[in-house]
Amino acid sequence: MANETRVRARAGAIQLAARRRRQRGAAMVEGVVVIPFFILIFVSMVFIGDLYRSKLTTHRLSMERIWADSLIGCDEAGTGRQMPLSEGIDLKQAAGAPGAALCEDGFGFLTETVVGGVNRPALLSSGNATTTTTTTLICNEKPVTGDFDGAAEFLWNLYAPDGMKATL
């Protein structure tokens, strides 16, 4: 009996070892299939992060440049163009309304475009992915001095009747 028990135990151990070998082989095949997929996902996430960072940078630069141009004044910036007024709307009819003087010159607009890019990883495809941001700013304001005299001139001209405009 003891001999039979030993034979059964040995046969069970051999079956267990064979099952473990098959399981290790299955784990190896699963690893070979799954690991490249995870590498591809990781590389894609890094690329999309770089692309988003590039888009944020182009947006920030575009906004910086458009506001810097607008500080010069919409008419004198060189890139400013006159915006067509809508038909049927005459802003000068509201000449007596407060703040109407701001609308007398018509509106202009400035446009600034910034282009950036990110190199694509070789794993995804070769080349360069570009990001472009265009910012348009509508303006009609001419720069005035920031001191008391400039503020007083602006307010006087805002409410002054025709023929009494001041220039300091």
Q: What are the beta bridge partners of residue 115? A: 132
Kindly list the domain boundaries of the chain, sorted by start residue: 1-81+99-159
pLDDT digits (tens), the chain, 168 positions:
566 676 676 767 777 776 776 666 777 888 888 999 999 999 999 999 999 999 999 999 999 998 888 777 665 444 445 444 444 555 555 555 555 555 555 566 788 899 999 988 887 777 888 999 998 887 766 655 567 777 777 777 777 776 666 665
